[in-house]
Structure 1
Amino acid sequence: MPRVFVQGKPVTSYPARAPEAARGSVRRITEVGEGVLHRPCRDVTEFGPDLAALIDDMFLTMYVAEGAGLAANQVGVDLRLFVYDCPDDDGVRHVGHIINPVPAQLAPAGRRLLDDGEGCLSVPGAVMAVPRPDRAVVHGVDRDGNALVIEGTGYFARCLEHETDHVNGHVYLDRLSRRDRRDALRQMTDRREHVFARRAAREAELSR
């Protein structure tokens, strides 16, 4: 079985970081409570160099923050778009971007809810158990407007579901009980500065 899928297609080899990152600049990651994270994003309607540059920046920002996915509103841009570089539970790596993502409504048969730990770059330092289906299918387009269908299982399904939530104006805290949400925000308060220090060190390392 191929070990890497790029834009949903198997490839024989791929670098440690998506090539887009080499062209990108690091952007500030928005944090829970900022308005852009809590309202549905606008559809992308213009395709061109500005969109390509945003995708480049998002890849580099994601790698600096050691994330598996990043939505445009997490860098303050109100557009339906996310990037990802994420393994599934079989260790297969999935890399790409998707624009105007729409999740397919899958039949419950054959799907399980996995109640695993989940974090978010916009809730720095917090990890909470969030139940998610173990399979996801997302339809959208790429930076050139070509149709895409991205499928994921296990941890990669969680990534697709998490990032699609973002473009719809939801953070994973919205899926938690009031008590668990308070716990997550306490974790964020306790660990936030440590996370930021790691990001700064990682940015310095990647800029060498």
Structure 2
Amino acid sequence: MILPIVAYGDPVLRKKATAINQDYPKLDALIDNMFETMYGARGIGLAAPQVGVAIRLFLVDATPFEDDEDLSEEEQALCADFKKVFINANILEEEGDEWAFNEGCLSIPNINEDVFRQPTITIEYYDENFVKHTDTFDGIVARIIQHEYDHIEGILFTDKLSVLKKRLLKTKLANISKGKIDVSYRMKFPNAKKKR
């Protein structure tokens, strides 16, 4: 089932999400619905807060990058079969010199900006079967994970922009929260005027 994606301005996107255990009700259905929602919106990552659920859950599918000519062959190969669920994730370490990459977000449609992030992360998380992992990821895969991880921490990619960039985007962001935007997938706008 495709869920509506919560737009910029909704308080759920600013909450630090809550950890869950394997008894969380209908977790498998939520994960399936999140994948379907992400694919329906042509995304590469989606966090539970983006569908209005403030829990520490996000998923990533980097396979669209397997044909990206801007990436090295090694990175393309890493993306080819990279599809994972992250539950109760905790980034243990971020390393390396920050690099810029143009990011967007399903909750902030039609806005893309360069964001600086470190290239290597070590992250502890549970998969969908509640098996614990500690893994190190690099490059574009690390970046996608960092972006989704920020969502469960209540952080948006726009928070990482300069004061000037934020000021320039202020009207666009306000319009997104009001639903004054063309978007090809279902969304829930926190400040949309109710139709009478």
TM-score (normalizing by structure 2): 0.79
Check conservation: 2:93, 2:123, Cα contact below 8 A: no
- Three-state SS of the structure 1 residue aligned to 2:129 is coil
Residues 69 and 150 (structure 1 numbering): CA distance in 2 closer, same or farther, change over 3 Å?
Answer: farther
Structure 1 unaligned spans of 5+:
1-24, 201-208
- The aligned counterpart of 1:151 is 136
Residues 32-85 of structure 1 deviation map (CA, whole Å, 9 limit, x = unaligned): 110110010000124366011110011011111111100000000010000110
- The aligned counterpart of 1:77 is 53
Check conservation: 1:47, 1:144, Cα contact below 8 A: no
- Three-state SS of the structure 2 residue aligned to 1:124 is strand
Indicate the structure whose relative CO is greater, using CA pairs within 8 Å and at least 6 residues apart.
Answer: 2
- The aligned counterpart of 1:61 is 37
- The aligned counterpart of 1:19 is none
Identity of aligned residues (%): 30
Q: State which of 20, 23, 41 in structure 2 corresponds to 1:47.
A: 23
- The aligned counterpart of 1:5 is none
Residues 31 and 150 (structure 1 numbering): CA distance in 2 closer, same or farther, change over 3 Å?
Answer: farther
1:128-207 maps to which residues of 2 (within 5 A)? 128-187=113-172, 189=175, 193-194=181-182, 196=183, 198-199=184-185
Check conservation: 1:44, 1:100, Cα contact below 8 A: yes
TM-score (normalizing by structure 1): 0.74
- Three-state SS of the structure 2 residue aligned to 1:56 is helix
RMSD over equivalenced CA pairs, Å: 2.2
State the AA in 2 paired with 1:38. Answer: R
Structure 2 unaligned spans of 5+:
187-196
**Count, aligned residues:** 171
Residues 155-202 of structure 1 deviation map (CA, whole Å, 9 limit, x = unaligned): 2111111111100111111111222123344455489733x1x337xx
After TM superposition, the runs of 4+ consecutive aligned structure 1 residues lying more than 4 A away are 185-192
